[in-house]
Amino acid sequence: MSVDARGEQLPEKRAAYEPAARLAEPTPHDPAMKRPISTVTGAVLVLLRVVTGVAVLITVMAGGTPDDSLADLVGVQADDETAAIGLGVYASVVGVSLLIQAILGLLILAGRNGPRVWVMLFAVASISTAFAGWWWQGQEIRVSGTLLSVALDVLILLALSSRSASAYARRNEPRPD
């Protein structure tokens, strides 16, 4: 321990980087491990992402006539029947996606590793899609849409990729001795 000017002991600082060999070390086998805050935070953020998705879906569905909503979504004008069908398909796909995300969030909270990995992959795909839309199509990143989604995805990645979240999710896996 280091000592400051007043003679008090200071905690040791972690290195700014960790050697690759240490990062590759397997996590300890501890079935009695308590749920870490990073896992809880990650699961809550996934569920918050679901809540924001529901809010966006409600906003789109209440956006006026189906024709207006479909025109905003896909950039084309259609008759009322086609617009209603398109809006229904959109709502169904988004609704199923939100339901799957909610289930994955609850499974993460329960300590499952597979859902944790799938949610992280989804977050990477979502961030990459937002970047590609901005880079190649010139889409605006607004607080009301893309920015909130990207921010939640980054926070989800930070929480669920932590060593403690990984160790908790893999606490019951057998380890070679």
User: For the segment 114-167, what is each residue's pLDDT rounded down to a tens digit?
Assistant: 999 999 999 999 899 888 888 888 777 777 667 888 899 999 999 999 888 988
Predicted local confidence at residue 28, as pLDDT = 67
Q: What is the pLDDT of residue 4?
A: 66
pLDDT at 164: 87
* pLDDT for residue 53: 86
CA 37, 43, 46, 51 dihedral sign is negative
Give the whole-angstrom CA distance, residue 149 versus residue 43.
15
Residue with tokens 């607004």: 142
pLDDT value, residue 71: 54
Q: 48 versus 146: which is more confidently predicted?
A: 48
Q: State the DSSP string of 89-155.
A: HHHHHHHHHHHHHHHHHHHHHTT-HHHHHHHHHHHHHHHHHHHHHHHHH-----IIIIIHHHHHHHH
Decide: 53 and 94 in contact? Cβ < 8 Å: yes
Q: Tell me, what's the pLDDT at 66?
A: 42
Better pLDDT: 22 or 124: 124
Cα separation, 152 vs 174, in Å, equals 33
pTM: 0.73
